[in-house]
Structure formats: C-alpha cells, structure tokens
Amino acid sequence: MKVYLATFGCRANQYDSEAVRSMVLAGGGEMADSASEADVAVFNSCAVTAGAEADLRQSVRRSARMNPRLRSFVMGCASALELVDGGPRPVSRRIAALPSVEGLVDGADLDALALSIGIPGPLPGGSVRQTGARGLLRIQDGCAEHCTFCATTIARGANRSRAADAVVEEARSLAERHPEIVLTGVHIGSYGADIGSSLGALVERLVTEVPGVRFRLSSLEATEVDDSLVELFAGAPGRLAPYLHAPLQSGSDRVLKRMGRHWYTAASYRAAVERIAKRAPVFGLGADVIAGFPGETRDDHLATLALVNDLPFTSLHVFPFSVRPGTAAERLSGRLSGSVVAGRARDLRELAARKRQAHMARRDGGAADVVVVAGGMAGKGITEDYLTVGISGARPARGERFRARLEITGDSLAAVAVAGAAKDYATP
C-alpha cells in the first residue's frame, strides 16, 4: 500500500503526521510523493482559519482529479469539528462530501486511522522516525480555555498532559537523530495541570536528562512562563533556545475581553515579556495577532501597534479575522469590512518587518548557534533566536549544528562557521 500524506497547520499537526508516517512504514506500507501514485491519501487538517480549510478542500479535490482510484481520509481539527454532535456543521458535512473521501478521523486518533486504512496501529513510544531536520515532540493535547474566535478547543477537547517519563523517553530517541527538539501541543503552558506538574518542571528534567540537544518551546502564553523557564532561557545556553512565541492577539484590553482572553491584559503581557527578555543576552520574540476582530476600533488597532512597537518582537504571525463556524465570535456584532481588516493586517505586517530588520541589525557580527535545516549550495539554518540564515563558507549537512558568526548580506543574514559542527552543546 502506498500512502500520500498532506499536512496543514501547526507543529502539533506536523508531529501527528510524523506519527502517521512511522505507523505506515512500520506496518509495511510505503510513502508516496504524490497523490497520483498513491492508493490512499491522508489529509491532516487545520481549522484555525477559513483559508486553512479552503486549502484542505482544494488539495482533496485536486488529488481526486489526479487519481480517480484514490481512497482519502481526513484527520485533524477540521475533521474533528465535522464529527462533533451538534457542532459547527452538523448538516452540510462539507469535508465528508468531498470527492474520494471515505472517512473522517477524530483529531489525531491514530488507532482509528489505522483501522480505516487497514494497517497495524501505532507503535508505543510515539514517533521517532521523523523527516524534518528538527524533531517535534508533543507533550500535551487540548485546551481548557474558550477564546471566542477559536475552534481548536471544540476540535481537540480539554487539556491532556503526557506522562513526563514518556516525554523524556521519546526525547532521548529523537535526540539520536535531531540536533533540536521542538516541544509542541495545543496549549503547552497548561502542561502538568492535570497530573500535578508544570511545563517548567518538565523542561528542567529534559535539559538535565537528555544532553547534547537544543530544546525549543512552541507557542506559549507569556504569562505562563514561570521562574524556572525564565532561568532556563537566560542560563541554559545551547539547551533551551532563547525564543518565545507568545500569542498576543490584541494590544487592547477591550478587544482581549471580547476575545475571551481573560488571563492577561496588555500591561501584564508587557510585564511578562520584559521580565523574560531582560535576562537573556540573546532573545527572539514572536506572536500571533488578529487584525480586525469584530468591534475593534481604530484606537484599539493603534493600541496594538503601539504595544508591538514597544516590545522586542522579532516576528509576527498576522491573521486577518475570519469567522470560524460554531465559535462565539460568530455571534459578535461590529464585524468590519474586508478592506479595513486587510489594511490593519498590512499595518501590522509592515511594522513586524521593520522590527525584524532592526533585530537582524543588532545581531550583525554576533555569535550564533545554528541548526542546518537545508544543506547543499542553498544551505539554510535556524539560530537559537529563530532567525533563518544562509550559510557561508563550509557546507554542513542538513541536521548538523555549528557555531557561527552572523553577517548581514543585503536584506538577510549569513552564518559563517567559526567551529565544526558540535556534538554537545551542554556548555557554552
């Protein structure tokens, strides 16, 4: 059996897809590079934006045209939403009705997917045969919050933490193949709340027990960074990447309240970020921001721009607001015109570009810890503060890690090796 796998959305989905790949190969199947040569297609879906679902539908239709004999299955968040009793689309079943689709899988239920495809179920211990230069490690699933714009909680359910022993065991396996491991999930800041632990305690254990690898946190609320994580950001060079992707969504307290993001204000977000950034000699900061949320005024938009300008952001993911069926935001008044939303998204992206260039200028001539994500003549790497850099001089292979000096070349940064690829970055 040949299986074509297409992934949409976040790193949590990417981790699930790696688990699907491992399951298929362990079950005697093969992976196909194209739907045209596959017997089965698995589409791992995202429901964060309307655009993500549109991309999924387009991909399923295109694959069915390429291969009329294809059997397709859809997993992930968009699939889970369609399976919810009384959920956002209980009648239309838009995904299930797509050509070639034989079944929907609830979220990341690999046992159900294996049964549908006709292969043995997943091996214990998680996915360790990953294809990326950097390993992905899911530490939890689900989210207990109820942001008014978000369909993920509906799709994924409440927070469920993995046992720390299982996480450490999988991290050890990943460390044999990957120089960086990204800790991912739907709401990783809630890790441990259901098992009497915390994210900080887990990361401390990983850094202690899994040497020779760089850990990175995926999206994490700024106000959920505890004292132990602050210390690790600043005092564990080469072990925990000094980068935080802290969802902001808005710099207006009024809009945050309408979004249902009750656990922070613009002021507490600012204080949390400044507390973290002042301790780390090198620090990267990213965020998600929604442009044009229903009821957002021009003053609200200016407040967001002001907060972004004041804080040391190095990147932004800007999402023009789009309604997710079944969410509370669908019922909110004050929806803005498409042109207003697009204009505000453009303002944020232009500011983010200027902030990124300023950070790159500060890093010019500085030292960096680079993981190679693309080898060869078009070599590309990722620094500890999550800058994408070209590679000058020696051409280390994909998946290697080396110390470098950064140099600005035009509008980009280049990494010049100052030592060979490192085997152990436990000490600076």
**Boundaries of domain holding 79:** 2-117
Percentage of the chain modeled with pLDDT above 90:
79
Is 352 contained in some domain? Answer: no
- Number of domains comprising the chain: 3
- Give the pLDDT confidence score for residue 233 in this predicted structure: 93
Grade residue 88 by pLDDT with cuts at 50, 70 and 90. very low
154 in the same domain as 109:
no
Grade residue 125 by pLDDT with cuts at 50, 70 and 90. low
Instruction: Write the CATH number for 380.
Output: 2.40.50
Is 61 contained in some domain? Answer: yes
17 in the same domain as 106:
yes
What pLDDT, in 10s, does the model give residues 215-270? 999 999 999 999 999 999 988 778 999 999 999 999 999 999 999 999 999 999 99
Type of residue numbered 303: A
Instruction: Write the CATH number for 75.
Output: 3.40.50.12160
DSSP string, 53-108: HHHHHHHHHHHHHH-TT-EEEEEEHHHHHHHSTT-S-TTT-TTTTSTTEEEE--BT
162 in the same domain as 212:
yes
What pLDDT, in 10s, does the model give residues 34-82? 999 999 999 999 988 888 999 999 999 999 999 999 999 999 999 988 8
100 in the same domain as 138:
no
CB 197, CB 151: distance < 8 Å: no
How far apart, in whole angstroms, are the C-alpha atoms of residue 65 and residue 100? Answer: 9
How far apart, in whole angstroms, are the C-alpha atoms of residue 4 and residue 43? Answer: 8
What does the longest C-alpha to C-alpha distance in the chain come to?
A: 61
Mean pLDDT across the chain, nearest whole number?
91
Torsion of CA 28, 34, 36, 39, to 10 degrees: 20
What pLDDT, in 10s, does the model give residues 309-330? 999 999 999 999 999 888 999 9
Is 49 contained in some domain? Answer: yes
68 in the same domain as 154:
no
- Give the pLDDT confidence score for residue 422 in this predicted structure: 42
233 in the same domain as 188:
yes
Is 337 contained in some domain? Answer: no
139 in the same domain as 77:
no
- Give the pLDDT confidence score for residue 126 in this predicted structure: 61
Is 162 contained in some domain? Answer: yes
Type of residue numbered 217: L
What pLDDT, in 10s, does the model give residues 256-314? 999 999 999 999 999 999 999 999 999 999 999 999 999 999 999 999 999 999 999 99
Q: Return the structure tokens found at 129.
A: 């045969």
111 in the same domain as 169:
no
How far apart, in whole angstroms, are the C-alpha atoms of residue 316 and residue 349? Answer: 7
In which region does residue 306 sit, left (phi positive, over 0), alpha (psi from -120 to 50) or beta (all else)?
alpha
**pLDDT at position 420 over 60:** no
Query: Which of 117, 145, 176 represents a domain boundary (last residue)?
Result: 117
Residue in 214, 18, 27, 30 with CA at minimum distance from that of residue 132: 18
**pLDDT at position 426 over 80:** no
Query: Which of 219, 241, 263 represents a domain boundary (last residue)?
Result: 241
Q: Return the structure tokens found at 302.
A: 């200016």
The answer to pTM > 0.85 is yes
- SS3 label, residue 46: coil
Is 11 contained in some domain? Answer: yes
CB 72, CB 102: distance < 8 Å: yes
154 in the same domain as 110:
no
405 in the same domain as 382:
yes
- Give the pLDDT confidence score for residue 86 in this predicted structure: 47
Is 149 contained in some domain? Answer: yes
108 in the same domain as 27:
yes
173 in the same domain as 84:
no
Q: Return the structure tokens found at 223.
A: 């106000």
CB 312, CB 277: distance < 8 Å: yes
Instruction: Write the CATH number for 170.
Output: 3.30.750.210
**pLDDT at position 427 over 50:** no
Is 308 contained in some domain? Answer: no
Residue in 228, 229, 208 with CA at minimum distance from that of residue 217: 229
Query: Which of 215, 241, 267 represents a domain boundary (last residue)?
Result: 241
